[in-house]
Chain A
């Protein structure tokens, strides 16, 4: 009787998670498998006529994997890294300041809300805003010219560096608040006893940051890095809106997902599918790499502990 009850409870558990799996199966898994399937087919629409699907083997994979793929991959990576480095540095700094008992920052809640606010704006709206702000006849240029800092309007979005920096700035503004709050939670999870003991032993704030805080929040740092990396690979809305979908000038801000979007607009399901599969492989490899890099030392230590 007792055993029967346990089994029946498990059944209820499965029943309750069933909706999720069904939704996942219908809305995620089937389209996912379809994407992979169509990547082996010639399948696109020309005007109002649909061509295919005709099986073409690896033709789409060959067509997609040209020098362009690596250019756009490089663009994506550059855009991500110049946004991510300031983001993680500022977030770490802010997080350690906010939770530091000795600093006693007033209005902590207020600042938390303020730094999180940019994340609430829709990325496309944010990009539209920046496009208007930084256009040659926009407010930023008129302020610069009125202050006498610029003689002629600066064409921010006319150069590769300018456009990339603007995109990085937007990504930084949108995500540093989120990262700060996550890292704060991680730091607050560390037992205050450790900090107390360290300060009694004469540990400086700098030492306690590098030798206590950083090592102990590493799992959360890994998580941040991986989610940001995946988010970075999928970078789309900000450069798409800012550069009108073309990644100008000279496609220097053209990301992989913008490419995917342009392929899907045709729509060319075959090449878009092949590109998606490549993206899946790339993000898989990157995740594995990051995971190994950040957690690698842990695996080496564990066996030693066991010996003790």
Chain B
């Protein structure tokens, strides 16, 4: 009898344990507070007292290093980089998921769906978003990113020195800003000095700019490089952002379920094919963010240059370069465009509004801090006056660029950027159109098959898409 009781108890405890995990996540009803114009901070907070754990969702350690560099409350970070301890006893827990293939968004979306049911210490307090999908999270109806005013930040005064386009991008359709960024990401042409010397007899940025002033000139110069055995660019994906950034209308208009492929994208397809067939691009490198692309930035590579923003030089090019320091230089590319940008958002349902405000102001609004980030990481930071000063500072030079001051070129490029054609479908469209047309560039399929493959892939990624319209 005793045995029976024991085993029954065991069995029951097991059942209890199992059912406890089986709770179904209730979907969150969105509040319409923002629509009424009156923004109350309380609507976004889950608790009146400041919590002890700040959960931050992001996709790499870029933001962490910036916080460590400028947030005065940071004490130290654990060796594995998952927890940062603050001097007031609060801990920042970093949840890192890769950006590619929509993995980060998927994990973040799951966490946001469970936000209402999660324990105070497990709620998402802050999250990051990239320009490709920032619109999805600043959406007024979704209401997951806390308006800055509700956190006690006034964009008009506190963020007055930021570039206007970064503020527009982080705002919802009603113009309410729901995020902030420490960087602006104008792109420049970064090239190898030794290859420039070998081919053109000069590595002077202004003279090289004349060689790449527009796409046709760049193509003609590409022939000279080819004669010497060099490639102008590494991959067809390298030019995508330049074309993709100058589309005349968003991929998907607000409220529509149809994708409009812009004529600029078709231009990219045609030009890429032309360049690849002409041998100006290395056909063996299929897209960015892979091993071949990384190797193209090494000293053994035959690739002349890359179109990169400031973070690209610090975060991508520099770690992959294995030659002497000072071998690279920057100049204006054929077109000014923006690539990337990490926005910081306070997450609805947080219990750490004070810390969010402090971190946001420290990392994105304080000019001294931003200049420190610029000096430490070569980031093009979000301070108009600071960037103007550094661009005019003759004494500033980056060792990696052979003492050249890149901000001389970044600063004017940033002021010409406009970002008005964003949609929440951008990441999928950008990834999948490059992927689908990769086969076409490689000569594996014809143009129409590549189109059909893109349509298939995009409708799998976004079930609500009903049609894809091509120009002509």
Contact = CB atoms under 8 A, between A and B. Distances in A.
Contacts of B102: 265
Given A18-B11, A47-B136, A49-B142, A249 B439 contact: yes
B453 A45 contact: no
Interface string A263-287: 1011010010000000000000000
Given A18-B11, A45-B109, A158-B442, A250 B460 contact: no
B238 interface: no
Contacts of B290: 135
A44 to B, nearest CB: 4
Interface string A50-89: 1100000000000000001000000000000000000000
Contacts, number: 95
- How many chain B residues sit at the interface, stated as a range, is 35 or more
A48 interface: yes
A207 interface: no
B438 A265 contact: no
Nearest to A262: B460
- How many chain A residues sit at the interface, stated as a range, is 35 or more
A119 interface: no
A136 B340 CA distance: 28
A136 B394 CA distance: 43
Given A47-B136, A136-B284, A250-B453, 11 more contacts: A47-B139, A47-B142, A132-B291, A135-B292, A158-B444, A159-B444, A244-B435, A248-B435, A250-B444, A250-B445, A262-B457
Nearest to B14: A19
A48 B464 CA distance: 13
B395 interface: no
A109 interface: no
B435 A46 contact: no
B14 A249 contact: no
B462 A266 contact: yes
B256 interface: no
B424 A26 contact: no
A49 B255 CA distance: 13
Interface in B421-449: 424, 435-436, 438-439, 442, 444-445, 449
Interface string B89-129: 00000000000011000100100110000000000000000
B141 interface: yes
A251 to B, nearest CB: 6
A143 B138 CA distance: 51
Contacts of B14: 19, 22
Q: Give the secondary structure class of A's interface.
A: mixed
A135 B290 CA distance: 10
A121 B161 CA distance: 53
Interface of B: 7-8, 11, 14-15, 18-19, 22, 27, 101-102, 106, 109, 112-113, 136-137, 139, 141-142, 144, 284-286, 290-292, 295, 424, 435-436, 438-439, 442, 444-445, 449, 453, 456-457, 460-464
Contact of B461 (A49, A68, A265): A265
Contact of B444 (A49, A153, A249): A249
B463 A268 contact: yes
A137 interface: yes
A266 B460 contact: yes
B11 A249 contact: no
A196 interface: no
Given A15-B7, A44-B463, A266-B460, A26 B18 contact: yes
A137 B463 contact: no
A232 interface: no
Contact of A68 (B113, B144, B295, B456): B456
A27 B15 CA distance: 12
9 contacts: A15-B11, A23-B18, A48-B136, A48-B139, A49-B142, A51-B464, A137-B295, A248-B435, A262-B457
A137 B19 contact: no
Contact of B438 (A19, A135, A248): A248
Given A158-B444, A250-B453, A265-B102, A22 B461 contact: no
Contacts of B291: 132, 135, 137-138
A26 B17 CA distance: 12
A260 to B, nearest CB: 10
A124 interface: no
